[in-house]
Structure 1
Amino acid sequence: MTTDYTTLIDEQTWAFIERTNSFYPPDAVERSVEQQREVYDTMCRAFFTGYPELVSSAYRFIETGERKIPIRVYEKYGSDPQAVCLYFHGGGFVVGGLESHDDVCAELCEATGFRVVSVDYRLAPEHLHPVAFRDCHAAFEHVASTTDLPIVLCGDSAGGNLAAAVSHHVRRHERAPIGQVLIYPGLGGATDQGSYVTHAHAPMLTTRDTIYYADLRGGGFNWSTDARFSPLNDTDFTGLPPTVVISAECDPLSDDGRHYRDKILAAGGKAIWNNEPGLVHAFLRARHSVDRARASFRRIATALHLLGQGRWPGQL
């Protein structure tokens, strides 16, 4: 099946895609992991937009029995934070870190006034599943034990997967998150149907890419029935926090968001799904150059802000 992206994607978004591909070409999965990380880091530095004036950050560590987990904590000057946003970055579980999403987290801090904690979880293939999940879960436990503020989970792409996985795991915790915002998450949907077929060759991310990263993360083992790996395949969707999923229309992962919303609703929970028209995977980096991405980022920040106050966004 062939999708005509010339009609779905506008000129601003094509310019973003072309700029991205000038750093990180479509054949990325043919490169070594070291090369992928180098290219990704270079690209992220080129897209870096700096911090809003009132936001500062501090580099810290979470002490666990296993390791020290690096984190970055963002605060807005003069703001009395109403919540903590625990943020997990994207990058296919293979690339990315505190630097790649530094300005994104700073802008979410500015927009919400919340304290934002970004987590530098360990990456595959050096650290296979469930290591990244364990690091993110440890970060949640640290935040839950060191503040009385409500906790909202947020993440993009791989980070959206990790946020959902933590939500499922800690849903009956006395400090369970009061909301989660998942940005174009990959949640473990079947890759032979739906958007994985319709958008198999989408710009920015292909279905082949998603399979490659899942195999790399899992070490070749089939983890599909493990909710820590594929939250969409959990057998229980009760007790999850109010959830906002923001997907991109031109993305093989888009149906993961739709199906995840549907399962939460079927279990009696609250969830909404926005499938952003004409946008592509990784559009967070386009939030200053593409009108559609800018508007979506405002919706993401609004959802975070409302959920952190215990309010339901309704429609965004």
Structure 2
Amino acid sequence: MPLIPEAAAFLDQLAKQNLPPMETLPIEVTRRALAIGAKPAPNPPVLRQVQNLLIKRPDGTDLPIRIYLPTTSTPLAACLYFHGGGWVLNSVDTHDDLVRRLAAASDSVFVSVEYRLAPEHKYPAAAEDAYTALQWVYNHAAELGCHPDRIVMSGDSAGANLAAAACLMTRDRNGPKVAFQVLIYPITDCNFETPSYIANAKGYFLTRSEMMWFWKHYVSSPEQMHEAYASPLRAESLQGLPPAFVITAEFDPLRDEGEVYAAALRAAGVDATVRRYDGMIHAFMRRVQQFETAKIAIQEVADYLRRGFRS
């Protein structure tokens, strides 16, 4: 189907700005622009508390997290969230509004993780931060008002990649059990030749060249791109992973790898649900002010979790 009107209007407005390609700008320039744009959204949902905290990595350094407590005294689940940005950009601040809305809609505790960014910290630093945060939530579930068997790994784009990688890590390391994974337009592979990469190479917000640029900054060598914790689709086995809810967008270079990952999970005996948003583009969910569809998707995530924990 064609772009839905709200997505077309957003892209038209973006085109009129005539911005240079992101991959041609210094990283710090883009990071500063994103930080400036990360202003509190109007009419935020009501939460009981939002708290910034520092937890410890295995080497003793600090890993910042932000905890969102819903109004209910008995949260549905404890959900870790990892922001998108190609492992290079963004922060808990840029995704603050989205995570607030997910916490409120699902009546769940959300823990947003300020993982280390590339290229200053190459793979697998961010993935290891995701696993460290998972261990912390498991060990502190009671303090968060949740049971340790109700932990969810979630994220968007590169953050969904980290969520998926951490699910593989905890399976491989006999770590904390994860109940569900919510992967929002995830990066699951390093194949730039899929039909969705070719059809949506440019003109739909996220571009093929940007993704190649992100990967170049994330890994230290091309060989690392094929490792399972970088490209979860390339894992030798996907058996034993938690059930997944995968959101994709029709006009997104990452569409196919998200849907193929869900199919691979099902082939490995893992329950996986795909929800493709036709007519929509990458990163739509955190643009609630522009896209009514974002509100629908947030509620769908909440509904998926409610159904999952009732069963």
TM-score (norm 2): 0.91
* Cα drift, residue 22 of structure 1: 7.0
Write the distance in 2 (CA, Å) between the matches of 1:192 and 1:229.
18
Q: What SS is found at the alignment partner of 1:238? A: coil
Write the distance in 2 (CA, Å) between the matches of 1:170 and 1:85.
15
Partner of 1:59: 52
Q: What SS is found at the alignment partner of 1:224? A: helix
Paired residues of 1:179 and 1:243 also in contact (CA < 8 A):
yes
Pairs within 5 Å for 1:100-249: 100-147=94-141, 148-149=147-148, 150-171=150-171, 173=174, 175-249=176-250
Paired residues of 2:135 and 2:175 also in contact (CA < 8 A):
no
Paired residues of 2:45 and 2:104 also in contact (CA < 8 A):
yes
Partner of 1:258: 259
* Cα drift, residue 273 of structure 1: 1.2
Partner of 1:8: 2
- Closer, same or farther in 2 for the Cα pair 1:63/1:24, shift >3 Å? farther
Q: What SS is found at the alignment partner of 1:155? A: strand
Paired residues of 1:157 and 1:185 also in contact (CA < 8 A):
yes
Deviations 1:118-159 (A, max 9, x none): 000000111111111111110011111222331011100100
Paired residues of 1:168 and 1:240 also in contact (CA < 8 A):
yes
Q: What SS is found at the alignment partner of 1:72? A: strand
Over the matched positions of the two proteins, sequence identity in percent amounts to 32
Partner of 2:144: none
* Cα drift, residue 236 of structure 1: 0.3
Paired residues of 1:202 and 1:252 also in contact (CA < 8 A):
no
Write the distance in 2 (CA, Å) between the matches of 1:93 and 1:43.
18
Paired residues of 2:83 and 2:156 also in contact (CA < 8 A):
yes
Partner of 1:86: 80
1:42 and 2:43 aligned: no
Pairs within 5 Å for 1:24-43: 25=19, 27-43=21-37
Q: Which amino acid aligns with 1:151?
A: I
Q: Cα RMSD (Å) of the superposition?
A: 2.0
Runs of 4+, deviation exceeding 4 Å: 18-24
Pairs within 5 Å for 1:14-25: 14-19=8-13, 25=19
Q: Choose from 63, 66, 73 the match for 1:72.
A: 66
* Cα drift, residue 44 of structure 1: 3.2
- Closer, same or farther in 2 for the Cα pair 1:31/1:42, shift >3 Å? same
Higher mean C-alpha deviation, range 90-99 or range 285-294: 285-294
Write the distance in 2 (CA, Å) between the matches of 1:200 and 1:250.
9
Paired residues of 1:26 and 1:204 also in contact (CA < 8 A):
no
Q: Which amino acid aligns with 1:234?
A: A
Deviations 1:269-308 (A, max 9, x none): 100111110110110133343233322222122223333x
- Closer, same or farther in 2 for the Cα pair 1:74/1:101, shift >3 Å? same
Query: Is there any run of 5+ residues in structure 2 with no aligned partner, and where?
Result: 142-146
Q: Which amino acid aligns with 2:180?
A: G
